[in-house]
Structure formats: structure tokens, C-alpha cells
Amino acid sequence: MRCPAMRRLTCWGLLALGLLACGGGPSPLRDLQPEARRARFDADAVALERLITRLEVEIERGAPLWRLDAVGVVPQRRALQAGFASLLEHLRALDVLRRLYRSGQGLRGAEQDEAFLLSYTADLALYINTARLLAETTGRAHFEALFDRIDPALGVPQGSFRWLKTQFNLQPWRRPLLLAHQRHEGLKARYAAAGIDARRAWSLGYIDARAKEMIKLGALEGPEILAREWGDLIADGFQRVWFPAQAGVAEWMGDTRIKRGHHGLIGLAQIEALRALLRPGDVLIERRNWYLSNVGLPGFWPHAALYLGTPEEAKAALGEAALRAIEAAQPRAFAAWAGQEAGHPLRVIEAMSEGVVFTSLEHSAGADYVGVLRPKLSPEAIAGAISAALGYQGRPYDFDFSFLTDDALVCTELVYKAYEPREGREGLSFPLIEVMGRPTLPANEIVRAFAEDQAPQFEFIAFIDARESSGEVFFSTQEAFKASYRRPKWDIVQK
């Protein structure tokens, strides 16, 4: 079994983020050991490819909707807002990655060249796709108003579209992109000598494919700037934070994720206290700050998992007959359920980058925030849901976030399909929303429905809350949990 820390490296990589602090300090990558730095480069390159690919597909899907002359019913407006929130998070993630690798300060030789290549790939994708988004939507008053007055539950600040448009137009894109492209061309021989061209073939291909588009958009005009130094252009303001996010988010992302690595704020003591409250069938809602897993699905809460307990604990809670029925229906998965991870029993089933897997509670709940909801269902229905979830064990992660097929699953899809009502078995009804033409279920919507439902399907069990600024972790109230779905996506100081 792979190291638990490696499981969440991509979001589509479930990747931990770091960021170069504003002001041009040393790259946090320099502080990593060489082996860890190489793993970080590799994971970020995979995440960058998936992020850009996903972003460009979503823009293609969204463009026909943005050309509509009017916005209709509430579901359509909410779908459009959710799509914009998703695109904005993709763009912001590119902004984060380009800053992490921007200067490569403290790195030398081939590592510095590779850092530049990753940063330039992110720069180019950020420029081209923001330009596409704004070209399709600017001047359409109904869309500008819709995107500026966005539902707070989507985790995007009010006025984000206006901010994005203003800051993009203030950026000195043309000059630094030209210089970066010329530098990239001059480094190709060094890429080949160091094997970077083989490792980063996707980035090289992407840059070559988009060069003509940069020329069309006017980014590669003005050869007189070739006399300027790269550092001078950064000083001109190309490094400024320009996405609509809270002040200080950049510094916090670098400081916390590099120093904390893959360790959440929640520690073993809190996890042990939580375990005493749990029963098989409980739904875990989780968040890890600064992960690319937080990109794409809107809202504060990005992840959901299903708590099983150990087979013995399930037998105690559901009865021996129910456990034997699960074993008979899912013999292969049942045998795997009895294993361990890093010395801890497997008690959770969840969908992550490796696919649908069993994990320990220590691994799954080792996050920054965790909420627990218990379905108000009979033990027989709970046992049926667990059996259904085990039937998906081993299937791959669904990087297309499609709820229409079962061959691959995303995290909330596993919970959704496990508790889906079936003939002869009661279940749960979850609120699907549309994001860029696809019905999906952000974990945040589960919390939102619980908060707003006058006859909730769930019972509140626990909420482990935290404050990133101080590292404080504490059990909080049902009221705080209900309000949490409205928290900003990149909140760094919980009030």
C-alpha cells in the first residue's frame, strides 16, 4: 500500500499547494530535501496538466451558455454561477502554481530551468484562458451582474467578476509573456541535456500549441522588451496578486502547506475522540486547506467519505446477519476491509486519486476540518448502503466528475450512490446541482441541504473546527457546522 501522504498529491491530483511569498523571498521548494522536491515537481506537473485540460474543456462547454441573450429560471442562473465559480477556482490554482515556480530562487541548474518551464506553462494557460473567459462575457450586462452577485455558498466573494476583469486589464501581460517565451526557446537545448524535455513533454507540447494563439491575442508583439531582464519585469508588477481572494492568502498558502506538509490541523487525540462518537454508515465531510482538491467543486467543503468502522464494529452496530449479508454480496471487498493502513484498522471507504479505496480513520480524518452526519435510516438500510459502497471498491477516480456512469466515481458520488434509494430499500435524496452542463454533488451542498432542510435526513454528530492562523482545533456546535457552508473558499482566519 502506498504511503498515505502520497495519496492526496493530486486533485485530480489532490495536491498540496505551496506559494512563493510576495516580495520575492526564497522559494519554499528550496527547503525540501532533494527527493521530496523531485516528488513535488512530478506531482505538480501532473496536476498542472489535469488542471489546464479540465479548465479548457469547461470553457468550451460554457461558451455557448455565455452567448445567451438572457438568463432564465433560478436553476439556470445557479448553474451558470456554479460554472463561473469553478472556472475562477481553476484560474486561481494556476495563479498559485505559477507563483510557486516563478523565480526558482534558491534552485540551481536543471531544477531552476524546470521550475521556469512549469511556471511559464501556468502563466500561458492563465493568460489565454482568462482572456477567453472575459472575451465571451465582458459587455453582457446580465452575465456581469450574475457573476458579480454570486451565491455566497459557492465560496466566491461578491464582485469577483469585476475584480477579475479590472486586474487582468491592469496586468502587463504582453511584455513578460514575450520575454518568457524567448527565454523558453533559449532553454530548449538545456531541457534536452537535462532530460526535462522527456519528463515535461506535455508542457512543451502545450506551449508550442498555444504560441500561435498568443500571437493572435497580441501577447507576442513588442520585441524591444528583449533587452529587459526577467527580474525587472517581476518588479514591474507581473508578480502582483490579482485574483479576487482575501489579502494574505498567498503568504498563508506558502507558509502553511510547505511547513505542514501533508499533516492536517486535526491530530490523533481529536481523531480518537471523534471515533468514540461514530457509527457505521456515518457520512464524513472533510476539508484540507490549500489542496487542489478544493478546486472545481464550489464551496468550503470539498470532500465526503463513508465511515464503516471495522467489520467487528459493524457487526456490533448492525448485527451479525447484516454483516454476513455484506460479506456474501461483496466477498472480495469484504476481505480487503479487514486490513490495516500504517498500523491502523481500515474504517473508511472513500474515492480519491487512487480510486475507491479503504483508508484508516486516522488518515481520512487527519484533515483541517471534519463534520459528521448520521443518516436517519434503519440499520437494514445502513447495511445496504455499506454493501453498495463496497461494491465500488477498486474502481478508478472520476476525473470528469460525471454522475451519469458508475465505471469511475468522485468522492461525493460514492456516498450518493451508496445511499441511493433502491427497490425494497429506503435511502437518501441529495441535491444535485449543474456545473458546466454536468449534474454533480459538491460536498458543500450536503451541508447546505442539512442546514436549510426543515426535516433533515441527517442527525448532527460532530464538527471539528479549526483556526489556521493559530493552529487551534476544537469541537464546535451544530449551529457552527450549519453555517460553515457559507465560509469563503480560501478562508485563512476563521472567526
pLDDT at 162: 82
For residues 253 and 279, membership in a common domain is answered with no
E strands, 117-236, in order: none
Give the number of C-alpha atoms closer than 13 A to the C-alpha of residue 479, restricted to the C-beta side.
0
For residues 326 and 203, membership in a common domain is answered with no
Whether residue 390 contacts residue 334, with contact meaning beta carbons closer than 8 Å, is answered with: yes
**Neighbour tally for 5: CB within 10 Å:** 15
For residues 224 and 279, membership in a common domain is answered with no
Question: Average pLDDT of 231-246?
Answer: 39
Q: How far is CA 2 from CA 5, 39, 491, in A?
A: 8, 14, 31
- Residue 313 φ then ψ, to 5°: -70, -35
For residues 53 and 25, membership in a common domain is answered with yes
The last residue of one of the domains, among 260, 280, 304, is: 260
Question: Average pLDDT of 225-250?
Answer: 38
Q: Which three cell numbers stand for residue 427?
A: 435511502
- Residue 411 φ then ψ, to 5°: -55, -50
What's the DSSP call for residue 453?
-
62-76, 148-162, 428-442, range with the lowest pLDDT: 62-76
The last residue of one of the domains, among 212, 236, 260, is: 260
CATH number at residue 482: 3.90.1720.10
Q: Quick: pLDDT tens for 470-493.
A: 889 999 999 999 999 988 776 543
Query: In this structure, is residue 8 part of a structural domain?
Result: no
Query: In this structure, is residue 337 part of a structural domain?
Result: yes
Element spanning 357, H or E? strand 355-360
For residues 253 and 348, membership in a common domain is answered with no
12 vs 119: which has the higher pLDDT: 119
For residues 273 and 247, membership in a common domain is answered with no
Residue 381's contacts (CB-CB under 8 Å, 6 or more residues apart) are: 375, 425, 426, 427
Give the integer Cα–Cα distance in Å for 248 and 454: 38
- Highest mean pLDDT: which of 86-95, 117-126, 252-261, 435-444? 117-126
For residues 255 and 313, membership in a common domain is answered with no
- Is pTM beyond 0.85? Reply is no
| Burial class for 411, CB neighbours closer than 10 Å (0-12, 13-18, 19+) | buried
Among 450, 477, 452, which residue's Cα sits nearest to residue 463?
Answer: 477
For residues 249 and 298, membership in a common domain is answered with no
Question: Average pLDDT of 445-451?
Answer: 94
pLDDT at 227: 31
392 vs 88: which has the higher pLDDT: 392
Query: In this structure, is residue 2 part of a structural domain?
Result: no
Give the integer Cα–Cα distance in Å for 483 and 479: 6
pLDDT above 90 (res 454)? no
For residues 184 and 158, membership in a common domain is answered with yes
Q: Which three cell numbers stand for residue 132?
A: 477567453
pLDDT at 344: 96
Place of cell 526577467: 230
Query: In this structure, is residue 494 part of a structural domain?
Result: no
Residue 99's contacts (CB-CB under 8 Å, 6 or more residues apart) are: 19, 20, 119, 239, 250
For residues 216 and 298, membership in a common domain is answered with no
Residues constituting the chain: 495
For residues 130 and 163, membership in a common domain is answered with yes
Whether residue 98 contacts residue 129, with contact meaning beta carbons closer than 8 Å, is answered with: no
Residue type, 162: R
Q: Is 185 helix (H, G, I), strand (E, B) or coil?
A: helix
Share of the chain above pLDDT 70, in %: 78
pLDDT above 60 (res 309)? yes
pLDDT above 90 (res 462)? yes
For residues 340 and 203, membership in a common domain is answered with no
Query: In this structure, is residue 11 part of a structural domain?
Result: no
Give the integer Cα–Cα distance in Å for 391 and 410: 15
Q: Quick: pLDDT tens for 129-175.
A: 888 888 888 777 777 788 888 777 777 777 888 888 887 776 667 77
Structural domain boundaries, residue 434: 268-486
| Number of domains observed in the structure of the chain | 2
Whether residue 342 contacts residue 362, with contact meaning beta carbons closer than 8 Å, is answered with: yes
The last residue of one of the domains, among 260, 292, 310, is: 260
pLDDT above 80 (res 269)? yes
Query: In this structure, is residue 4 part of a structural domain?
Result: no
Give the number of C-alpha atoms closer than 13 A to the C-alpha of residue 334, restricted to the C-beta side.
18
pLDDT at 268: 95
Query: In this structure, is residue 180 part of a structural domain?
Result: yes
The pLDDT confidence band at residue 314, using thresholds 50, 70 and 90, is: very high
pLDDT at 179: 79
